[in-house]
Each structure stands twice: as structure tokens, then as C-alpha cells.
Amino acid sequence: MTRRAPRQADIAALAGVSQATVSVVLGGNQGGVRMAEDTRLRVLAAAEKLGYVPDPVATRLASKRNHMLGLYTFKATFPTDVADSYYPILVGVEEQAAALGQDLILFTGADGRGERTHDEVAIRRTRIADGCLFFGRHVPVASIEKLVESDFPLVYIGRRDELEGRIPFVGADYVSASAAVVDQLASLGHRNVRYVRENDDAPSSTDRERGVVEAAAKAGIECRVVRDEVPVDEWLRDGVTAVVVEETDTGAAYAAVRAAIADIDLSYAVLGRPPEGGDEVTGFEVPRREMGRRAVELLVELITGDPRNLHQLLPCTPVPGTTVKDVR
Amino acid sequence: MTRRAPRQADIAALAGVSQATVSVVLGGNQGGVRMAEDTRLRVLAAAEKLGYVPDPVATRLASKRNHMLGLYTFKATFPTDVADSYYPILVGVEEQAAALGQDLILFTGADGRGERTHDEVAIRRTRIADGCLFFGRHVPVASIEKLVESDFPLVYIGRRDELEGRIPFVGADYVSASAAVVDQLASLGHRNVRYVRENDDAPSSTDRERGVVEAAAKAGIECRVVRDEVPVDEWLRDGVTAVVVEETDTGAAYAAVRAAIADIDLSYAVLGRPPEGGDEVTGFEVPRREMGRRAVELLVELITGDPRNLHQLLPCTPVPGTTVKDVR
DNA sequence: CTGAAAGCGCTTACAG
DNA sequence: CTGAAAGCGCTTACAG
């Protein structure tokens, strides 16, 4: 009983015109072709009667456009471990895609064995969509470069500096946000602080560190950077009064710091938001949802051909919190 | 600089064979075509030399299947208000889709104005995938019926009884799980309880109520059902010792009950899990992730043609909890 | 055993 | 004003 989905040829037969005419009518007559109103109506009626829906694959092969945006993540799109940081981005992406009438293709497994291989083939698959959003701490440069060079529209969610800035992105301004946190520490009298970060270099980490280091230098306070360790006893000996910790999607550094200073009277702040609850923790809010929205916006601009700003950095919202004490 | 990507015709020219031969060689020779090893090697070498990667759009147009599964939700796919109940399902869906080498198309906006209209046209769009998952408390019967009648493979996430059982689904066995909760109450000596549910009829609600009512009858205990109200004073006068409350994605009923009995010594249980935390609350865990996984599995079976079980009900995991006191 | 033809469902340039 | 042809890059029957 599987009735084959109707195609333009079926409509053509029913309306008594050629398949090409059907295409012109249903395509909204982009070419400005002159067309008898009567023919147009007959075609439309036939299409409606048959319940016609264009085949997006054929549309794309013939025209280069199918109103689908890809979303390629370098881990699962719906990760279980870092849901908090991913989900808001997805919400924003979906919101804006819907607003612009675009469907979303999630590029999941795809190699047929469930193994996620980020090789060229897997990434080239994204070409099924009109353009693609990419999301992940790191970039498989070689594969992405081919895409970029072939002028395939793509946007990274998160700042990227690979390929000499040829990768369009929508990121968060971690430098300013991190600097603001250090400024707050300085204004409350802290002169000797530590910054704990994870040992994984990605722009989001580098930017945070840069903001911290620059702000500390400017304020004239000491701020050493430590990676993946929390030598609390040493800090206390050295007269440290506050610790700032990186937020990553795993939350590892933050968890380590919290555990280490649980029973100690030390001010602390996080460069982002703690994994759960913790409204009182000093830090800032990453505009994830807005990033998702803007990334879609930029991608569609890229597809339609008049992108405004290829590299966007969105401001984070400061969260004053109460975990940084006044030590003046 | 946009260099056209090499295609099979380019390889054919280089290897001195026809384009079709290239297709056969690169396609792994599925048809069991006999082929001179020498030709095969020449084609492979040429492909390698040109850095050939197949165009997925053309591949999918030529072969009937496109290895894309649709996901149609009747609200946003990534809702902000009910994220807790949706997200695990999405995780399961993605997981299994990846395992089976299927991409996912999220049907979001799609009418070009961002307005979500669940009319026939919107739902018909799902045909662009090989099959589609549907998810939502209610069913737009007419539209779904057309899909089902045309043998388009689709699976509902959640039990459905519309269309005389012709809608394939993967749901949760709320009847048994709810009955088990009442059994626990009975075994702890409760003889007079109340069941609070929301005033919205969907299979997941109906099933819970049925489980509660049947178990109460069987255990010989009194259990009145109330919709959308929590007359605590009346209950206390009537000698009620425990209250059972429905869990829905909004969590409205549960919140109302918790607020009403906050300062009262009344046992309570929830037919599901409370919105956040609350590990101690008696109830059960809905196997959402597994539902997502199995729904994908069933959908792919439907697509490939040999579905095992068109109507699956998965068991929920009981959560004993500590909010039901022993009143014996 | 191998290659050339037809076709997947569309769009777009081009005749009439 | 309208239709028929060519083509997007592949796969899969089908000749030889």
C-alpha cells in the first residue's frame, strides 16, 4: 500500500502541463516567467490535491538550496555529562532556525557503525545542508579548511583563530568578562590571588586566562596561574586571599577548587557559572542561548550572501555574587 | 579560489573508464559485478590522486534511502520549561541514531515565518526523511492518519491508541508502575489515599490513573481521584493518610501538592520523579532514554521492512523513597 | 566480465 | 507566454 510520494511529474500529468512548468509555479516563479494565471491555479490545485511536498535532496542537487541548516558537534549533540552548557545553545539554535524557517539536521553517528570519526568524509557530509554550525572546543583544521576553501557556509559557535581568522564564529567575550571579575576582586582589596584553569588549550580557556592576567597586571595585583592543581596550603602560606577558577563544560576545575577550599575562609569566583545552583557564586553568565541564535543568524546571512560581521563576540552578564569578601 | 570538487567523471577520465565503472568500484561493488582487478586498482589510484569525496546529496538522490530520521515535536524540540523530561529522550534518540548511522532532521519552524502550525503541510514535510519520530501529549489525528495510510514509517514516543492502534509507538508502562506505587502504600498500611492528577487527558495520564485505581481496588483500599485541586483540610478530616500525585512535564500538580502539604504529616508519592532533586520521594523512574533509543530502533526496522513489535511498553524503575511512612 | 544508458526529482537556461 | 532539454552527481538495472 506504500503510495509513492507525489512528484512534480504527477502534478504535471494531472494539470496537463509540463513538469518544468510545475517547477516554475511551485518555485514561486523566481525567474519572473510569464505564466497564464489559469495554468498557475490548475498547477496549485493539483499540487494540493496530491499533497505534494518537494524532495529536499533533489532540490538541493538541482539548486544548491534546501533550507536546512546542519549542526555538527564534536561529541554527542545531546551529551549527558555536560548537558547544562550545551542545552541553552541548542535552545537558541532551534529558536532562531524556526524563526527563519530553517530545519535543522543533526549530524550524528553517520559512519554506519556508530563510531564518530571526524575525518574528512564525516565532515563533508554536512554539505547536505545549505550551511552548517560547528561546535566543539577543538577544530579538525584540515577538514574544516577544505570546507571553508570551497566556500561552504559555516559558522563556529565559540571563537576560533585557526586558519588565520577565516572561520566565521559567534563567541563570548571571555576576555572582558574575566577581566571584570578580577577588577571586582581588586576593588574589594584582594592583592594576591590565584587563577586555576584546566590543562586543555582552547580559545575559551586562553581568552579567560588572558582577561585574568591582563586585568591583574593593570590593577597591580599578583595573580599566578596554575593548571590542574589546587595547592591550598601553599596559598595560605603565601598570603593568597582569593582564588578564581575556570569554568569548562566538564566543571572539573571548579569541583576541585570547591572541594579544596570547603573548610577554608578564602574568597572565590568562577569564570562562568557553577554547574548547579550556586547563584551566590561570583562570576558571569555566558550568553549561550544568544550565541546559538546569533550563530544561526550569521549562517543564514552567509548562505544568502550578505554577512554583516563574520566574527562576533557577545558580552557576558556579570554575576556579582557573595563569595568574594571585602578584605580592605 | 573555489576549486570545484572532483567527481566521478573526473576519476573516470583519468583512469580511462566510464563514470559508472567508477561508481561501481568506489561503491564497494555492492552488486557483485565482476571487475578486472587491474581496472579496480586504476580507479582507486585515480580517486586517491584527485582526493575524491562522494557528494552525499547526489548519493542520496540516486539511492532511495537517505539515512535521515525525522524528529517532530509538537512544541519546541528543545523546550526551556520542560527540559528535564525531554532531554533524556533526545539523548536516547541521538545515541541510537548514531549507532545505526542515521542523521536526524529536527522539524522546527518550517513555515517560513517561525509560526509553528501543526497542519497537514507541516507534518507532511517529515517525508523528506526516511521515517519520522513523533513526540507530544496529543496527536493531530487527521494529519498523522494520512502519513500512516501512505505507509510512511513513523513511530510515536509514548503510547497512542488513536487510529485503532495503527500508530506504532514506544511508550512506558505507566499502568504497572503506578499500580506498584499504590501496592507499596497498601503494604505499609495506608487504607485511605487520594490521587491528584492534572486535568488534561493523554494516554500517559489515563494509564497512570488506571494503574492507581485498579491497584487500589485490588488491595481493597479507598483512593479517590481529584483533578487539579488539593483540598488538604478535607482530606485530613476524612482520615486520608497518603496522597499520590501525577507527574507531567510541567510538574504543576506535583508542585501544588508539595506546597499544600509542606507543613503536614502526610505520606506522599509521585508517579514519576519530582522535577529536581528529591531522590527520597517515592515513585518511579520513566525510562526516557531507553524510550528514545527503542523508538529509533523500531523506526529503522519499519524503514528496512521487518518490524518486530509495533507497540512497545517499557518498564519503569521503582524508586522506593522515604516519603511514604509505615502506618501499620 | 565490462561499459553505456536510464533514472533519482528537481532547477534553469533556452527554444519556440 | 509556455514547454522541452539539459544537467546537478550519483546508483542500478541492463545490454553486450
Per residue in B51-84, pLDDT tens? Answer: 887 887 888 888 877 788 999 987 766 666 666 7
CATH of domain A68-172+289-317: 3.40.50.2300
Q: Are B152 and B127 in contact (CB under 8 A)?
A: yes
Average pLDDT (B136-147) is 83
pLDDT at position A308 over 70: yes
The pairing of strands A317-319 and A154-157 is unpaired
CATH of domain A8-54: 1.10.260
If DSSP codes are grouped into helix, strand and coil, which group holds residue B246? strand
Average pLDDT (A26-30) is 72
Q: Lay out the sheet containing A222-227: strands in order across.
A: A222-227, A192-197, A242-246, A267-271
Instruction: Report the distance separating Cα B165 and Cα A138, nearest Å.
Output: 48
Instruction: Report the distance separating Cα A236 and Cα A234, nearest Å.
Output: 5
pLDDT at position B1 over 50: no
> Which tens digit of pLDDT belongs to each residue from A215-227?
999 999 999 999 9
- Chain A residue with CA closest to B1: the answer is A149
Instruction: Report the distance separating Cα B83 and Cα A159, nearest Å.
Output: 27
pLDDT at position B115 over 50: no
pLDDT of residue B122: 74
pLDDT of residue B291: 97
Domain ranges of chain B: 8-62, 68-172+289-314, 174-286
Residue B41, min C-alpha distance to chain A (Å): 21
Q: What percent of chain B has pLDDT over 70?
A: 90
pLDDT of residue B138: 80
Q: Testing the interface with A: which of B3, B7, B26, B57 to mutate, by most A Cβ within 10 A?
A: B57
Instruction: Report the distance separating Cα B258 and Cα B196, nearest Å.
Output: 11
Instruction: Report the distance separating Cα A254 and Cα A241, nearest Å.
Output: 17
Residues forming a β-bridge with B284: B318
- H-state helical runs in chain A: 8-15, 19-26, 37-50, 56-63, 83-99, 120-124, 141-149, 174-187, 203-219, 232-237, 252-260, 288-304
Buried/exposed code over B208-230 (b: 16+ C-beta within 10 A; e: otherwise): bbebbbebbeebebebeebeeeb
Distances (CA, A) of A307 to A99, A150, A166, A297, B115: 18, 17, 13, 9, 25
Average pLDDT (A104-131) is 70
Ranked by mean pLDDT, the top range of A97-111, A148-162, B16-30, B290-304 is B290-304
CATH of domain B8-62: 1.10.260.40
Q: Are B205 and B197 in contact (CB under 8 A)?
A: yes
- Range with the poorest average pLDDT among A88-102, A310-324, B156-170: A88-102
Q: Testing the interface with A: which of B104, B125, B143, B289 to mutate, by most A Cβ within 10 A?
A: B104
Q: Are B66 and B130 in contact (CB under 8 A)?
A: yes
Mean of the per-residue pLDDT values of chain A? 87
Average pLDDT (A125-135) is 88
CB-strand contact A36/C, under 7 Å: no
Which comes out higher in pLDDT, residue B114 or A197? A197
**Å from the B21 CA to the C2 C1':** 8
Size of interface A-B (CB pairs under 8 A): 143
> Which tens digit of pLDDT belongs to each residue from B260-287?
998 888 999 999 998 877 789 999 999 9
With an 8 Å Cβ cutoff, are A78 and B91 in contact?
yes
User: B-chain residues within 8 Å CB-CB of A99?
Assistant: 109, 114
CB-strand contact B61/C, under 7 Å: yes
Q: Tell me the nt nearest to A11, Cα to C1'.
A: C9
Nearest CB to B150; choose among A3, A68, A94:
A3
CB-strand contact B20/C, under 7 Å: yes
Q: Tell me the nt nearest to B28, Cα to C1'.
A: D11
> Which tens digit of pLDDT belongs to each residue from A55-83?
878 888 888 777 889 999 876 666 666 56
pLDDT of residue A223: 94
Chain C nucleotides near the protein (CB, 7 A): 1-14
pLDDT of residue A241: 95
What is the C-alpha R_g of chain A? Answer: 26
Q: Tell me the nt nearest to B5, Cα to C1'.
A: D9
With an 8 Å Cβ cutoff, are A90 and B78 in contact?
yes
Average pLDDT (A267-281) is 88
Q: Are B299 and B133 in contact (CB under 8 A)?
A: yes
Q: Which one-letter DSSP state was computed for residue A82?
A: S
Q: Are A177 and A314 in contact (CB under 8 A)?
A: no
For residue B106, which of A129, A65, A310, A323 has the smallest C-alpha distance? Answer: A129
Same fold, A8-54 and A68-172+289-317: no
User: B-chain residues within 8 Å CB-CB of A151?
Assistant: 2
User: A-chain residues within 8 Å CB-CB of B87?
Assistant: 78, 83, 87
Q: Testing the interface with A: which of B65, B106, B133, B146 to mutate, by most A Cβ within 10 A?
A: B106
pLDDT of residue B139: 83
pLDDT of residue A28: 67
Q: For residue B114, what pLDDT band results from cuts at 50, 70 and 90?
A: very low
With an 8 Å Cβ cutoff, are A150 and B106 in contact?
no
Give the angle subtended at the CA of B83 by the CAs of B82 and B85, to the nearest 5°. 75
pLDDT of residue A24: 87
Nearest CB to A151; choose among B2, B105, B106:
B2
Q: For residue B190, what pLDDT band results from cuts at 50, 70 and 90?
A: very high
Residue B324, min C-alpha distance to chain A (Å): 28
Q: For residue A250, what pLDDT band results from cuts at 50, 70 and 90?
A: confident
Residue B220, min C-alpha distance to chain A (Å): 43
The pairing of strands B68-73 and B103-107 is parallel
Average pLDDT (A32-40) is 76
If DSSP codes are grouped into helix, strand and coil, which group holds residue A175? helix
pLDDT at position A112 over 50: no
> Which tens digit of pLDDT belongs to each residue from B195-245?
999 998 889 999 999 999 999 999 999 999 999 889 999 999 999 999 999
Q: Which one-letter DSSP state was computed for residue B30?
A: T
With an 8 Å Cβ cutoff, are A76 and B91 in contact?
yes
Residue A91, min C-alpha distance to chain B (Å): 5
Homologous superfamily in CATH for domain A174-286 = Response regulator (3.40.50.2300)
Which residue type sits at A232?
Answer: V
With an 8 Å Cβ cutoff, are A104 and B99 in contact?
no
What's the topology of domain B68-172+289-314?
Rossmann fold (3.40.50)
pLDDT at position A272 over 60: yes
Q: For residue B29, what pLDDT band results from cuts at 50, 70 and 90?
A: low
Nearest CB to A106; choose among B76, B103, B125:
B103
Q: For residue A111, what pLDDT band results from cuts at 50, 70 and 90?
A: very low
User: B-chain residues within 8 Å CB-CB of A60?
Assistant: 57
Q: For residue B192, what pLDDT band results from cuts at 50, 70 and 90?
A: very high
Mind giving me the DSSP string for A197-211? Answer: E-S---HHHHHHHHH
pLDDT of residue B263: 87
Average pLDDT (A112-136) is 73
> Which tens digit of pLDDT belongs to each residue from B118-135?
566 677 778 888 899 999
